[in-house]
């Protein structure tokens, strides 16, 4: 069985299993205390920076789900390392983190490969962090699940929405879009720009730019489908790196948004 090893353990999150588990549990515990009780979301937008920067905001997303119902996670994240057209699936059977293996849903991957815009591309996944950093949270919150990990390259939202719709599933399937917001503005400017982006999403716009969100393509795809399926987005948490572990001169914005 071919396994994709952890690429960013020790950089974006702790490489030691005990330390990683404690870090995730602490963030989830804090988020659970502060979160507003709602029904479980069908889809989430979750940030993907290092845990010291965006881990708490990510925890608000994962604390909101009903783990008992979810058996499959369809995860979309933007490509940061490799340039390619379309959407890439990994050429393996499992991902691994310090918390253990995550099975890949081979049937779901095969269904995605029926679309011409989807291909197997192990290189696109090998060093990509936007998907990997979501896994320890999912491993902690969900007792048993399969994963369909999709890395989004140069593509149109409508093309990604076509694949997303095919993998939509029922209550057993959670969709996760991995994305940060604005990058490298001063603190107050970043807050203003991110508030505009969040307001646009909550108003069900589907034309975010990549300056507004690095995962804009998949976000816009989700927005298109959310409108058709009568889902309502709700902001679960927002902060930026100036609020967590960075300075306020060049910050990155993070939001968790649930779709209900």
The 3-state secondary structure of 107-170, one letter per residue: HHHHHHHCCCCEEECHHHHHCCHHHHCCHHHHHHHCCCCEEEEEEECECCHHHHHHHHHHCCCC
CB of 146 within 8 A of CB of 44? no
CB of 55 within 8 A of CB of 100? no
CA-closest candidate to residue 181, choices 222, 223, 245, 237: 237
Per-residue model confidence (pLDDT) at position 61: 97
Label the pairing between strands 3-4 and 233-240.
Answer: unpaired
Per-residue model confidence (pLDDT) at position 36: 64
- The residue extents of the domains of the chain are 3-259
**Which pTM does this prediction carry?**
0.97
Per-residue model confidence (pLDDT) at position 1: 84
Task: Give the residue carrying structure tokens 């709700």.
Answer: 234
Q: 3-class DSSP state for residue 194?
A: helix
CA-based angle 42:223:153, to the nearest 5? Answer: 100
Distance between CA 218 and CA 241 in Å, rounded? 23
For domain 3-259, the question of CATH label 3.60.20.10 is answered with: no
What is the pLDDT tens value at each position of the chain, 260 positions in all? 899 999 999 999 999 999 999 999 999 999 987 766 677 999 999 999 999 999 999 999 999 999 999 999 999 999 999 999 999 999 999 999 999 999 999 999 999 999 999 999 999 999 999 999 999 999 999 989 999 999 999 999 999 999 999 999 999 999 999 999 999 999 999 999 999 999 999 999 999 999 999 999 999 999 999 999 999 999 999 999 999 998 999 999 999 999 99
């Amino acid at each position: 069985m071919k396994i994709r090893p952890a690429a960013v353990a020790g950089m974006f999150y702790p490489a030691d299993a005990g330390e990683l588990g404690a870090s995730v549990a602490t963030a989830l515990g804090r988020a659970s205390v502060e979160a507003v009780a709602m029904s479980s979301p069908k889809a989430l937008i979750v940030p993907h920076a290092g845990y010291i920067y965006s881990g708490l905001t990510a925890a608000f997303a994962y604390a909101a789900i009903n783990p008992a119902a979810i058996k499959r996670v369809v995860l979309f994240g933007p490509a940061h390392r490799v340039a390619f057209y379309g959407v890439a699936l990994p050429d393996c059977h499992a991902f691994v983190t310090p918390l253990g293996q995550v099975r890949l849903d081979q049937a779901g991957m095969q269904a995605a490969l029926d679309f011409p815009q989807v291909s197997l591309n192990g290189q696109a996944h090998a060093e990509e962090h936007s998907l990997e950093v979501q896994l320890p949270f999912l491993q902690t919150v969900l007792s048993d699940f399969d994963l369909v990990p999709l890395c989004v390259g140069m593509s149109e939202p409508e093309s990604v929405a076509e694949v997303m719709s095919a993998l939509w599933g029922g209550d057993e399937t959670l969709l996760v879009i991995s994305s940060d917001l604005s990058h490298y503005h001063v603190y107050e400017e970043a807050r203003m720009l991110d508030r505009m982006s969040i307001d646009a999403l909550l108003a069900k716009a589907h034309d975010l730019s990549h300056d507004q969100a690095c995962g804009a393509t998949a976000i816009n795809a989700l927005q298109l489908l959310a409108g058709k399926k009568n889902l309502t987005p709700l902001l679960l948490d927002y902060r930026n790196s100036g609020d967590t572990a960075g300075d306020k001169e060049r910050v990155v914005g993070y939001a968790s948004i649930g779709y209900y």
